[in-house]
Amino acid sequence: MLTDLFLKFREASKQMLLGTIVLTIVGLVSISSVSQHQDMNFVNTTYFRQLLWTIPAFLTMILTFGISRRNIYKFSYPAYALVILLLLVPYLGPKVAGTYRWIKLGTVHLQPSEIAKIFIVLALARYLSNPRLDINGPKAILVPSVLVLVPIALVFQQPDLGTSIIIASPVIIMLFWAGVRPFSLFLIIAPVLSILTAFHNLSFGIWATVMALILYLARPKLVNGVIIYFANLFLGLLSPYIWNALEPYQQKRVMTVFDPSLDPLGAGYQIIQSQTAIGSGGLLGKGWGQGTQTQLKFLPVQETDFIVSVIGEEFGFLMVLVILIIFALLLLRMLRLAADSDNRFSSLVIVGLAVLFLAHLFVNMAMAVGLIPVKGLPLPFISYGGSFLVACFAMVGLVMNLGINYSD
């Protein structure tokens, strides 16, 4: 068995493994800078704990790499059911940091939503790869939507808006990859755009015009087209109620994206400090442990949400660019493996996992420079977080495993 695993490993993408290791090292170096002045024993620092988490992370990658494709497919639905139960477990205990995100096992805190992302992709891929599925029938959209909405509802109530968005991110791309018609995908995206554009009259007017043009070109049945159009307009009119349903801190985060000075000591503080840190680093940075925003603790949650701000300040724009290039190479490699796969299920899983990585990368980077509201999402392989690191390595193991064309 070990021989077979070794032979498979030789076939796997060495580029992916190398990129993963480099990003993990960059993360450890950055976290070591953040934790060097922590007033605690070395074994309790974030750096040492992250270093320890690399061991189960690598073991998990090897485990997911060694599982046969047949078993991954076979247990996709049971794994999805298990993870739904795990998402309910935190609600049975006390809050941790004001949320129900973690399962406490002694001194270790596990975040089931990190694992849930993977199993949701597996369940979606299994359903969409069914050869008897009518890919342009209503079930092709309805069932995947339900599979995603159930965990999203549980995670959103934790509350964890950022992870809820990440869980939803692979659905549209996986449906497109499976062959669902573009007009069907439009029906999914349209309500979201109707809600977002409704906050600005001109934007909503432009979107209403574009929507009418798309419906005209798609030429659905007249009754269906009218229902779709006016249903989306109605959703836009409901936007004020949706806005009021958000927590006050979530509203502040959205508003401070457009103007951080609205609350410079509150919701806008994180964005202002992050932009200051990245801007002060320049091209080459100030050097390891020399970042003023980082070392003087002006920069908040620097080992997780704003780790890229630490890197930008201490190692400069060039290091941030190197990180982006490595991620780009990894994502391109994943798409290549998906396109070349001889198995529909494997191809869909790889695409779904690639979207998860891309969503995390985009949201974390965009959040750090103030392009989007602060979501509280880590950067893959680099940010501090044991559950997240294990989940990232598990995804790499799955991609390398399913990217190999072999018969089960």
Q: Could you write out the DSSP letters of every residue in 159-175?
A: T-HHHHHHHHTHHHHHH
pLDDT for res 370: 77
Residue pair 105/62 in contact by the 8 Å Cβ criterion: no
3 state SS of 148:
helix
Cis peptide before 378, with omega less than 30 degrees from 0?
no
> What single letter denotes the amino acid at residue 20?
T
- Residue-level length of the chain: 408
Round to whole Å and give the CA distance between 392 and 24.
Answer: 10
**Residue 108 parent element (H or E):** strand 108-110
Report helix angle 344-368 to 307-340, nearest 10. 160
pLDDT for res 220: 82
Round to whole Å and give the CA distance between 164 and 225.
Answer: 30
Quote the distance between the C-alpha of residue 200 and its chain's center. 28
Contact partners, residue 227, CB within 8 Å, separation at least 6: none
Which alpha helices (DSSP H) does 89-181 contain, by range? 112-128, 139-156, 161-168, 170-178
3-state helix, strand, coil split of the chain in percent (to 5) is: 70, 0, 25
Round to whole Å and give the CA distance between 176 and 14.
Answer: 28
β-strand pairing of 108-110 with 103-105: antiparallel
pLDDT in tens, the chain (408 residues): 555 555 555 556 778 888 999 999 999 999 988 887 766 677 778 888 999 999 999 999 999 988 888 999 999 999 999 999 998 888 887 776 677 777 777 667 788 888 899 999 999 999 999 988 888 888 888 899 899 999 998 888 887 778 888 999 999 999 999 988 888 888 888 888 888 788 777 888 888 899 899 888 888 888 888 888 888 888 888 877 777 777 776 676 666 655 665 566 565 677 778 888 888 888 888 888 787 777 777 777 778 888 888 898 889 899 999 999 999 999 999 999 999 888 999 999 999 999 999 999 999 998 888 777 777 788 999 998 888 999 999 999 999 999 886 544
State both tokens at 105: 């096992």
Question: Exposure pattern of 30-47 as b/e (b: 16+ CB <10 Å)?
Answer: bbbbbbeeeeeeeeebbb
Residue pair 45/38 in contact by the 8 Å Cβ criterion: yes
